[in-house]
Structure 1
């Protein structure tokens, strides 16, 4: 398995939601912008941890779905998403 962090900077997010079609852990937040919710994906059964700091959503995962997160980041037209592998 791969440990990785997904960071979503909400300031440049413009609600295009290209990320939602690449990784179902991305969902629409109450503010009309994207956020990350591991429980928003009906097939995800891991223990994702999500926190928000100063308008940035940071999610930590330890699973085999890093490629989906990378696809979501690549699809974001405003480059608001980054994905980084982290040490366990």
Structure 2
């Protein structure tokens, strides 16, 4: 399975939340912006490493759901989300 990283640039996110309808791991944070909660998916038991700073949210996953993350990134009208495969 590919290991991949999902990054949300907070200053580019405007809270449209198109990503939430494409991948249930995307959720609204307390500031009204998108963030990632690996445990938010009601169907899949998902684990991921999450790092959050004032500038960005970065989550790393090693499951087979990279296409869902890519759909969420494509749906973002401000291009605030980037999905990259990473080396082991």
Give me the TM-score of the superposition, normalised by structure 2: 0.95
Aligned pairs for 1:65-84 within 5 A: 65-84=65-84
For the aligned residue pairs, the C-alpha RMSD in angstroms reads 0.9
DSSP 3-state at the match of 1:87: coil
Give 4+ residue runs of structure 1 displaced > 6 Å after superposition.
none
Query: Number of aligned pairs?
Result: 88
In structure 2, the gaps of 5 or more residues are none
* 5+ long unaligned stretches in structure 1: none
Q: What are the residue-to-residue correspondences of 1:1-88 with 2, within 5 Å?
A: 1-88=1-88
Please report the TM-score for the alignment, with normalisation by the length of structure 1: 0.95
> Higher strand share goes to which structure?
1
